[in-house]
Each structure stands twice: as C-alpha cells, then as structure tokens.
Amino acid sequence: MKEATRFEMMLVSGARELKHCRRVFIGFHWPVIASRVARRLYQPDMLCAYEGGFVEDCLTETMPTSNNDLILAQKATMCGDSLDTLFMLLRAGWIETSMLDGFMVDRYGNINSSCLGDYKKPKVRLAGSGGAADLAANSRRLIILSSATTPDRYPELVDYITSAGYLTGGDSRRLAGFKEGTGPSALINPFGRFVFDGETKEMYLEAVHPGVSVEEVRGSVVWPLRAADHVSEIEPATPEEIGIVREELAKARNRLYKLPD
C-alpha cells in the first residue's frame, strides 16, 4: 500500500486525537471525516454533538456532506434545539473535545474564516462563522484541523478573528472575559501537531509527520515559528489507518467534497 500523503496523515492524526474520547463536538468539514475515521478505528460508540441541535452515537453508512446534513441524524439519540447542543451540552462542560476546521490560523490560534484582506473591502469574502465562534469560545479541549500548508494561511495575526484563539497571547483571552479552561489545545495540519505555550500562548511545533522537516514547517508560516526542544516524529499511519482514511475519502468524493489533489 502506498504510504499516506500528508493530507491523509492529517486525517489520521486528527482521528487519533479522538481516541478515548467519549463525547465530542464536531464542526464543519474535515472534522466530520476525522470523526468517522476515529469511530471506525478506535471509538465506535463515541457520542457526537452538532450545532444543528442533535446528538448521535453511531456511524452512518452514507457520508454526510456537512455536520448539518441530517443523514447524521438518522439514528440520533436526541434531536433538539441548537441552543441545547451549543450551550446546554458544550458550554456547560459535558463535552470533552471539540474539533474545528481552521481555514486561516495565526500565531495565537485565532481563526479567520470570514475574509481575505480588509473586512470592509475584502479581496475574497469567505463564509463566516456559523457555529465556529461558539465552538472556539466554549470548548474545553479544542482541536483545530487545517489542510492549509502555505504562509498566506498562517499569518502573524489574522485580519479578522472569526473564532477566538488566544487573541494577542498571554493573558488577553482571559482578560477579554472568555471562560477559564477554554481555548485551542492543538492544531493538526499536514505537517504535524502544534500546541500552545502555557505562558505566552504562542503556537509552537511539537511533532512532525513522517518525512517532514522542521525547516519546511518554519517556511510555511509567516512568524518565526518556535519548535519544541525535541520535536518528535509522529508514528506513521498503519496500513489499517490508511485503508480506512482512503475509504472515507472515496465516499467524500462521491458526495461532492472538494478534496486536495
């Protein structure tokens, strides 16, 4: 079997983040696929909550086109209001881990999914928040998944903060009034895994995917990226992991997902 591409490796690492998680909140896009891989490999009865207001605990045969595709609710165990899942379950602290797509992520884990360039006169207008701002504000352990690999997607500070990370670093998130214990825990991208400094809240490289060099990762972000004293190499994907990721990607393609080449 051909070894995993870096994009596939991102999904494998994303799924591994959900190992041993019993209750998760799944945001739009790649987290939907990563959660399916996690269920098939490690955690079949993992409970997933969604911003549409429902909760379910088993894999569907059909790949949902988004976290709001009600294919996902076919075997839901609870269908309610969006406020039930976003506030009564997530904010109240009953969800262990949330996973969110990061279109553009900065030094302090702030996400921009609203615009490229000036907000009032953008070069490209993107979708906006949806529930992403709520996930970023209210999650206890937030994992950001991003398929981006170029410096234009990792600026020093995003033009527009759609979903709050650690704002300008240090104490700023707490001082702005965000709940204690919330904020991003890690970013997984095709290069590897990044975490946040306990004091400065700056994102730094903790581990790389097989075959990725620290220098290459440094070249993919705009700011001078710090790396852990010892950057570890993440375990390569097993044939089983690669097989399942490819099966899920094939399903995604059939459901008109745009996938990287």
Partner 1 sequence: MPLGSCIFIAEQMTRGPRGKLLSGREAVGRFVQDGSTVYFGGFGFLQAFSLAHEVIRQRKRELTVVREAGDILVDQLIGAGCVRRLVTSHVWNPIGPSSAYCFRRAVEERDPPVEVEEMGYGSISMALMAGAMDLPFMPTTEHAGTGQFQHRSFLGERKFQVIESPFSGEKVTVVAPLKPEVGLIHVQRADVEGNCQVVGPLGNLRFGANACRTIVASAEEIVDKGLIQLSSNLTIIPGFRVSAVVHDSLGAHPSESFGYYDRDIQFAYDYSQRARTRDGFQAFLDEWVFGVNDREEYTRRLGEDRLKKLVEIYRYQHGRDWPE
Residues that bind partner 1 (CB under 8 A): 28-29, 50-54, 65-66, 68-71, 73-74, 76, 79-83, 86-87, 91, 112-115, 119-134, 137-138, 160-164, 167-168, 172-173, 176-179, 255-258
Toward partner 1, which CB reaches closer, 172 or 185?
Answer: 172
**Closest CB 204 distance from partner 1, rounded Å:** 21
Toward partner 1, which CB reaches closer, 114 or 234?
Answer: 114
Which residues touch 86 (CB under 8 Å, ≥6 apart)?
51, 131, 134, 138
Alpha-carbon span 153 to 234, nearest angstrom: 23
Nearest to 1 by CA among 261, 241, 255: 241
**Closest CB 62 distance from partner 1, rounded Å:** 9
Toward partner 1, which CB reaches closer, 73 or 208?
Answer: 73
Under DSSP, the state recorded for 260 is -
CA within 13 Å, CB half, 75: 9
**Closest CB 119 distance from partner 1, rounded Å:** 6
**Closest CB 78 distance from partner 1, rounded Å:** 9
Toward partner 1, which CB reaches closer, 153 or 209?
Answer: 153
What's the Cα-to-Cα distance from 20 to each of 36, 44, 96, rounded to whole Å? 14, 10, 10
Under DSSP, the state recorded for 236 is P
